[in-house]
A and B are shown apart, each in its own frame.
Chain A
């Protein structure tokens, strides 16, 4: 039965081909991991391919993890004001603000932290919550759940939502108000 005979040959060829491809992938993988082919220096940007792989992996993972996270219906001004305190203390050096530069050393981080002025356009509140609480592996983005319980993290999300369209004058005003509040609180304690 020639037909079956041919089928058998095809199967063997396919298996040999598969084994060859697997061996090739294995060899390249070994070279990258074992022989130092991948350049880990942060002083040069990711190649286009590595950027695509890491960025797509990050976006898909955040999307998947955030599916079970239920965001508050709306955020209050008080929440955003509390979130600002955390942002201005813990985030602005890496992510900057409207008219506010990042700290000079931050341009040495690869991937470099982006300004977040349109993060609320790119991410849903649930996705922002996951990113901020859990951080991002293999980047310099920390998991802020080591410092902030969920409620405080939602405050930060509330502020990041407001960053969209915020003027430099408004950011400066919020800094001013925060300083005044802190000073009053300290005076009260004395």
Chain B
């Protein structure tokens, strides 16, 4: 009886942990290093990223020319080519043509700080 109680408790603890982990919205610790999530949302809106990508949380971001960017925090690769580290993600956002010359996504002249804010936003998408 006692053991069963313990197991139930364990399960409850695990369930709580799983729920908080899955339900967590907002910035991951990685995002904080990168830049401002809120500023990133504004930069994404201004840069019209949403006319080529589906991006959760950005009004009107339903574009189909590029891949959807939902759950980006969990992606292992950027553009199927670079490991999804904060620096690589920011690099892709600022200068995709340097990484895959001739692809559809343009170099839009974003500064390093702007690209890092955008990367922080994408990194908050769980």
Q: A-side interface residues toward B, CB under 8 Å?
A: 44-46, 48, 51-52, 55, 96, 98-102, 104, 107-108, 112-118, 121, 167-169
Q: How many A-B residue pairs have CB under 8 A?
A: 67
How many angstroms from the CA of A45 to the CA of B38 in the assembled complex? 12
Q: B-side interface residues toward A, CB under 8 Å?
A: 42, 45-48, 50-52, 59-60, 63-65, 97, 102-109
Which A-B residue pairs are the 5 nearest by beta carbons?
A114-B51, A117-B65, A101-B106, A107-B46, A115-B51
B51 touches A168 (CB 8 A): no
B60 touches A118 (CB 8 A): no
Please give 7 more A-B residue pairs, beta carbons under 8 A apart, in addition to A52-B59, A104-B109: A45-B45, A55-B59, A96-B106, A99-B103, A99-B105, A99-B106, A117-B65
Nearest residue in A to B63 (C-beta to C-beta)?
A: A118
Within 8 Å CB of A118, what residues of B? 51-52, 63-65
**Set A51, A100, A114, A168: member contacting B48, Cβ < 8 A:** A114
Q: Closest approach, in angstroms, between the C-beta of A150 and any C-beta of chain B?
A: 27
Within 8 Å CB of A167, what residues of B? 102, 104
Q: Is the interface of B mostly helix, strand, loop or mixed?
A: loop
B42 touches A45 (CB 8 A): yes
B108 touches A101 (CB 8 A): yes
With most chain A CB atoms within 10 A of its CB, the pick from B46, B47, B60, B97 is B46
